[in-house]
Structure 1
Amino acid sequence: MSDPDTTGPATARSYPCQSCGASLEYAPATNAMRCPYCKQGQPIAPAARGVREHGYAELAQMPLKPREAAEAARLFICPGCQARTESDTLSERCQFCATPLVADAGATERITPEAVVPFGIDRNGARAALRTWTSSRWFAPSTLKRVTEAETFKGSYLPYWTYDADTVSDYTGQRGDHYWETETYTVTTNGESRTETREIMRTRWSHASGTVSRAFDDVLVAGTTRVASKQLEKLTPWPLDEAIPYQEQYLAGFQTVRYDIEPEDGLDLAKEQMSPVIRADCRDDIGGDEQRVHSVDTRYSGLSFKLVLLPVWFLSYLHGGRSWNVMVNAHTGEVIGQRPYSTAKILAVTLTAVAIVTVVTLILIRNSAR
């Protein structure tokens, strides 16, 4: 591995191939780096330590990095050709010689990554996932099934916060128990009245209060605003149990997005995810047939967090003169994104449905006229 460049505004590491001298890249679904030219492999040594959680109280000792450091992190100096590449990422490629560059996160980041879920599928695997996805889209144009290559194809690690917490929640509410009453009513038919009865379900409400507890593990919150959180949620689930201790070699050859959501703000988002789970626990504790939860007061203890990097393939393909964007979970192969619709197919299905309804209606009319 080349030594970090400490004279420039940012450190950048590359990993030369011992066989041909080209730069090694991480090989997805392995624990090794590989030369894209001579295919020589080099194992990644196991990390010296395991994945650690930060106690939330540690944040007070983690001040924000000075503005100068943040600005310096935007500039990579390539150890190969000495070119300077502006970027706000932790890993990138040299814009001149395409050497994979990895920044020293500890020199610029307030909090460095603790874990990474490495890429589990390579470009070919992502293309296969795209083909399966495009061929299974309802009302998609037939030509969409011939999409096999992406016009742009980029693998990126995205930053996520995970939070652990023990919670104890005091609640107040109401318990609803159903019971049945016999109701008497009058029915008039052909001028004659008669009395009938029916069973009516009622609900008896009573005060309820109590305490519930739950331990949360690895509540996941996106640490970047560069991709819409609603879109990222569709890429779940993530195999966090397969996360390994962070090592820079896993970033080589891929872009790594820096976090722009601080852990304090991420905790607020994590609590929003915990809230409906806690309220469901309150309803279960209340019991009965129906529940109303009026108030919940939650105390948090044992708070901890970590920064983990998760892999995504970003794809764009051309169809009908337009670019369509897709994301692939680079570990599970889950695909989400935009797709075109075939107006002709939608119209054909609509006309078929109308024809069926018309035929059924005519049959019913004919039968009722007999």
Structure 2
Amino acid sequence: MAETTNVPSENKTLNCSNCGAPIGYVEGESVLTCEHCGSTTMLAGFDQIVTIQSHSIMRPRLDENSAVKTARAWLSEGRLKPSGLGDAADLRSVSGRVLPYWIVKSFASTSWRGMNRKTRTVGSGQQKRTEEYWEPTSGRFSENYTWPVYARENEAEYWGLKFLEPGQKCLFPDWRKFIFSFGMGSKTSPNANLLEGRVPFSLDGITDSGLKIVNGQIVQARAEETARARIVQSHDAKAAGKATRITDCDTTVTVQGTELVYLPMWEIVYGYGGRDYRVLVNAASGAVVAAEYPVGRTAKIVNFDLLFGILGGLLAAAGFGTGHHGVGWAGVALVAVAVAYTIISLVSGKK
């Protein structure tokens, strides 16, 4: 078998078109920010260098210590998390980065057609039956976006980068082997205005906070193509939920403007119960953008008891109330299972 040799990316320099200072970058990076004056240059092709006139930053206000405090405070909230998680979380690492995003301001309009499966009762007497039929349906919906496109090739190089996109799952509860989670604790990212709060780019507060600026690799035209494709994909998924079967879906995306915005983020890794989890904190707004967290014992007990307790109570009431004692005792057994699970969980001491 032939051996594969990984050739490291070549380090290069380019003189800043604004202040003349050297800008260091590696092959493949095409959106470069000068660490001396803060101006940004885009390499648009062979021997073609474009100075980006409009680029902004969400001004960072959280340093490393403040970001950790924010994460611990968030981990201390909510009924699903173990009691005292914020204090008990074992800090593993903290990484701060100022990440380049193309924010594509756009308007998307979708028209769709489909069929809904329905049932109806026909006939009478012994000929009475239920039959299935299909009913045509259609509709339209539209939405404004400030769609974020990470300005680098590999969206997986840092955790949580894709979670800024509207509709992406951003909270990840760890129920471990507990199967009665009912999807609780998860959350998707809202369609937020990612241009709100931006200011003209400057290096103020970046160097002293410990944040590292990351250069971009994707130029504006490609970012707009990516945003269009993902908005269409998002609208296709939304339309799919409006009918049993979608027969036609057409989305038009109008790009109204694109701006390079730098978003400061702190990635915090912590340990708990023998596993590592991550929290992504927006250093500008102080909000938790995405997070993984363990689910506590109390939440599992509540879910288990609600399922078996309510089901058992209904069966017991229905069974004994109608003289079907077998059904009634089955309900009592389910309630007993719920009580036993609660006692065992509390005695075991597992979190």
Aligned residue number for residue 232 of structure 2: 275
Contact map agreement 1:89 1:256 (CA 8 A) in 2: no
What is the CA-CA distance between 1:351 and the residue it aligns to?
A: 5.0
Distance 1:298 1:356, change over 3 A: closer
Distance 1:12 1:117, change over 3 A: farther
Alignment of 1:71-110 (within 5 A): 71=26, 106=40
What is the CA-CA distance between 1:69 and the residue it aligns to?
A: 6.3
Aligned residue number for residue 223 of structure 2: 266
| 1:186 to 2:141 alignment | no
What is the CA-CA distance between 1:140 and the residue it aligns to?
A: 2.8
Contact map agreement 1:312 1:329 (CA 8 A) in 2: yes
2:82 is aligned, of 131, 141, 149, to 141
Aligned residue number for residue 221 of structure 1: 149
What is the CA-CA distance between 1:256 and the residue it aligns to?
A: 1.6
- Unpaired runs of 5+ in structure 1? 1-7, 14-67, 75-87, 92-100, 189-194, 283-288
The residue type equivalent to 1:246 in the other structure is F
Distance 1:187 1:167, change over 3 A: closer
Contact map agreement 2:90 2:272 (CA 8 A) in 1: no
Aligned residue number for residue 41 of structure 1: none
Contact map agreement 2:33 2:41 (CA 8 A) in 1: no
- After superposition, give the CA deviation of every residue in 1:257-299 in whole Å (9 maximum; x if it has no partner): 222333333222211244368889x9xxxxxx99967364858
Alignment of 1:161-180 (within 5 A): 161-164=102-105
What is the CA-CA distance between 1:89 and the residue it aligns to?
A: 9.1
The residue type equivalent to 1:186 in the other structure is S
What is the CA-CA distance between 1:317 and the residue it aligns to?
A: 1.9
Contact map agreement 1:9 1:73 (CA 8 A) in 2: no
1:361 is aligned, of 315, 319, 331, to 315
1:152 is aligned, of 84, 93, 114, to 93
What is the CA-CA distance between 1:160 and the residue it aligns to?
A: 0.7
Aligned residue number for residue 251 of structure 1: 206
Contact map agreement 1:166 1:214 (CA 8 A) in 2: yes
Alignment of 1:330-349 (within 5 A): 330-335=283-288, 336-342=290-296, 346=300, 349=303
Looking at CA atoms only, which structure, 1 or 2, has the larger radius of gyration? 1
3-state SS of the aligned residue for 2:294? coil
Structure 1 distance, partners of 2:141, 2:318, is 59
3-state SS of the aligned residue for 2:59? coil
Distance 1:316 1:167, change over 3 A: closer
- Unpaired runs of 5+ in structure 2? 1-10, 17-22, 45-49, 171-188, 325-351
1:232 is aligned, of 164, 178, 203, to 164
Q: Percent identity, aligned pairs only? A: 16
Structure 2 distance, partners of 1:258, 1:168, is 33
Contact map agreement 2:100 2:263 (CA 8 A) in 1: yes
3-state SS of the aligned residue for 1:357? helix
What is the CA-CA distance between 1:168 and the residue it aligns to?
A: 9.2
The residue type equivalent to 2:214 in the other structure is V
The residue type equivalent to 2:304 in the other structure is T
3-state SS of the aligned residue for 1:129? helix
The residue type equivalent to 2:148 in the other structure is L
Contact map agreement 1:10 1:103 (CA 8 A) in 2: no
Structure 2 distance, partners of 1:167, 1:248, is 35
Aligned residue number for residue 276 of structure 2: 323
Distance 1:318 1:204, change over 3 A: closer
Structure 2 distance, partners of 1:167, 1:352, is 42
Structure 1 distance, partners of 2:264, 2:250, is 37
What is the CA-CA distance between 1:135 and the residue it aligns to?
A: 2.0
Contact map agreement 2:33 2:40 (CA 8 A) in 1: no
Structure 2 distance, partners of 1:264, 1:149, is 43
Count of residue pairs the alignment pairs up: 268
What is the CA-CA distance between 1:343 and the residue it aligns to?
A: 5.2
Contact map agreement 2:33 2:215 (CA 8 A) in 1: yes
3-state SS of the aligned residue for 1:369? coil
What is the CA-CA distance between 1:249 and the residue it aligns to?
A: 2.9
